[in-house]
């Protein structure tokens, strides 16, 4: 996984249960994938993802249960798909076909107990289907924070950071969004950034907007980075 994005998702389809519903009324508990599609996704997941996403001994979160719900409650399957596509497999994000990533989403839906249906999940419809439920704690959720980037050896830190805000888009903030974030007052939070494998010159002491998954290790707060957007203001000014 690299900094441009991180993690996993689930979905399914029931032709007869959802045919009369409009786009955003659909949810993943209405049978939006098929058993055959989920089986294909499981095979792809086992070949490319399970080495990291396993318990015990994995280096990435297990994509089932409360952690999945907290991360993707109320998000669309498009957000789940994009997170997976931009972060997995770790050595080569985006290297699988679009169909394979959609199948992985189906596998994750089945893994999380969402029922299968009669029609396969399609890429074109991912934005019309939501993961049901409302997350509570921000831990394990996709968030955005703004702060001052620094590096000490291999450790990247975001200091003077704002409070984390839940987001549904793992991609870097757009230029328009960045112009709104740039003048924001900095905060007092501090986050250790994970999954950062290098950065362009000039990023140290730069104000940035970071997106990623919020976790804790003791008193230390961490963000597993999915994207970093450099803002125009230097923290040294």
Q: Is the pLDDT of residue 19 over 50?
A: no
pLDDT of amino acid 39: 94
pLDDT of amino acid 10: 26
How confident is the model over 65-117, as pLDDT tens digits?
767 777 787 788 998 998 888 888 877 888 999 999 999 999 999 888 888 99
Find where tokens 């080495």 sit.
Answer: 51
Same domain assignment for residues 85 and 63: yes
pLDDT of amino acid 210: 93
Same domain assignment for residues 223 and 164: yes
- Work out the average pLDDT over 155-170: 86
3 state DSSP class of 83: helix
d(CA 157, CA 225): 11
How confident is the model over 170-179, as pLDDT tens digits?
888 888 888 8
Residue with the bigger pLDDT between 201 and 23: it is 201
The CB-side HSE value for 168 (13 A sphere, CA atoms) comes to 13
Residue 95's CB: how many other CB atoms inside 10 A?
A: 11
Q: Confirm if 133 and 67 have CB atoms less than 8 A apart.
A: no
- End position of a domain, from candidates 109, 130, 151: 130
Same domain assignment for residues 125 and 28: yes
Confidence of residue 6 (pLDDT cuts 50, 70, 90): very low
Same domain assignment for residues 22 and 110: yes
Two tokens, residue 40: 């294909």
Find where tokens 């620094």 sit.
Answer: 150
d(CA 11, CA 108): 7
pLDDT of amino acid 59: 61
Check: pTM over 0.75? Answer yes or no. Answer: no
Measure the CA dihedral 45/29/73/48, to 10°. 0
Percent of the chain with pLDDT over 70: 79
Q: Confirm if 206 and 148 have CB atoms less than 8 A apart.
A: yes
**Pairing status of strand 155-161 against strand 142-152:** antiparallel
d(CA 41, CA 11): 11
Give the total number of structural domains in the chain. Answer: 2
Q: Is residue 6 part of a domain?
A: no
Residue with the bigger pLDDT between 221 and 90: it is 221
Q: Is the pLDDT of residue 169 over 70?
A: yes
CB-count burial class (<10 Å; 0-12, 13-18, 19+) for 50: middle
Domain of residue 176 covers 142-234
Same domain assignment for residues 204 and 168: yes
- Concatenating the DSSP letter of every residue in 107-144 gives HHHHHTTPPP-SS---GGGGGGEE--S---SSTTSEEE
How confident is the model over 115-161, as pLDDT tens digits?
899 999 999 999 999 888 655 567 777 888 999 998 888 889 999 99
pLDDT of amino acid 200: 59
Intra-chain end-to-end CA distance of the chain, in Å: 33
d(CA 28, CA 11): 5
pLDDT of amino acid 37: 96
169: domain CATH number is: 2.40.50
């Amino acid at each position: 996984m690299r900094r441009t994005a991180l993690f996993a998702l689930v979905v399914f389809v029931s032709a007869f249960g959802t045919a009369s519903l409009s786009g955003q009324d659909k949810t993943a508990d209405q049978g939006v994938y098929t058993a055959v599609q989920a089986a294909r996704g499981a095979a792809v997941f086992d070949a490319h993802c399970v080495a990291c996403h396993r318990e015990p001994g994995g280096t990435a979160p297990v994509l089932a249960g409360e952690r999945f719900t907290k991360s993707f409650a109320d998000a669309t399957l498009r957000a789940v798909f994009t997170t997976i596509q931009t972060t997995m497999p770790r050595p080569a994000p985006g290297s699988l076909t679009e169909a394979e990533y959609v199948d992985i989403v189906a596998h994750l839906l089945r893994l999380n107990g969402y029922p299968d249906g009669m029609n396969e999940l399609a890429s074109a419809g991912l934005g019309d289907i939501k993961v049901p439920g409302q997350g509570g704690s921000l831990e394990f959720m996709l968030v955005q924070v703004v702060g001052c980037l620094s590096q000490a050896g291999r450790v990247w830190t975001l200091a003077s950071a704002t409070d984390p805000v839940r987001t549904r888009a793992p991609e870097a903030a757009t230029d328009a969004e960045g112009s709104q974030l740039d003048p924001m007052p900095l905060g007092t939070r501090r986050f250790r950034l994970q999954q950062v494998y290098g950065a362009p010159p000039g990023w140290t002491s730069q104000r940035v907007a970071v997106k990623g998954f919020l976790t804790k290790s003791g008193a230390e707060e961490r963000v597993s980075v999915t994207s970093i957007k450099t803002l125009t203001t230097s923290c040294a000014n």
